[in-house]
Structure 1
Amino acid sequence: MREILPQLLWIGNARAARDVTGVLDRGITAVVDPALEEPPISYPRDIVYCRLPILDGEDNQPAVLQTALLTVARFIQGDIPTLVACSGGMSRSPAVVAGALSLVKACPFAEALRQVAATGPCDVAPGLWNEIQHLLEQGGAESYSG
């Protein structure tokens, strides 16, 4: 698990997300799970768990992708310590986090993704990159008002 924003935002993989004690020890109170192929995780009742299955490529449902970006952005704005964890923690998680940061910081998606990539390895699938970029450019996340 790697910290993107101090004490506020982490990216992880399925293994890290399943380490409930490790998640709780970091003070994380919300988990966003975009891993389509992983089974849901059981957390204690006081943990917010958002399962928003996203494909690691093209053909994502725009509403689901938009919801993932907006949810993480709202958690950041609300100072809710959040983990975003997909299967490998290399594509969907960094892409969703970068999309959310793009909304919160009002910066280009590519710039936000560079900031995320500076914290560790990233390998965002081109189709997913394009879908998020298109969604942000077309105002598909327009209901966000940070």
Structure 2
Amino acid sequence: MTTPDPAHGAPPPPPLYGAGAPPAAGYPAPSSPPTGWGAPPTGAAASTASRRGLAFTAVVLGALPLVFGMLQPLVLVGVIRAGGYELYTAFGWVLNVLTLVLGIAALACGIAARRDAPLLAGTGIGLGAAATVGAVTGFLFTLTAYV
């Protein structure tokens, strides 16, 4: 059996997925694609991309206090060996303030980006919250030494 050749008067094949075909009985013909389908507006695409970048920034800001925490003992051992106890206290306070600022910044960036990049934003929020709580706890622990 041979396949009919369209050039010799065979009917064209039916359209795929109803393109150009009349609607099925009982259903209205669609006038346009449903809302939410199609290309996003240019402003929304730019906003989504910038918020994904904001989520990545939240992760980086939240991870920096971890890096400082790993380097802090190495630096403080050198300071103690040199006998600079005043420098030890000042360095601890500066690092704690920096951790608090970075943690709050990671929280803010993560919260702002949580809808467009939930995984990265959630990671940034978690790291920021941990850094913030750690810094506040460090301040409270230091204050108990003066009471």
Name the TM-score class by shorter chain: under 0.3
Higher helix share: 2
* TM-score w.r.t. length of structure 1: 0.27
Structure 1 or 2, whichever has the larger Rg, is 2
What's the TM-score, normalizing by structure 2? 0.26
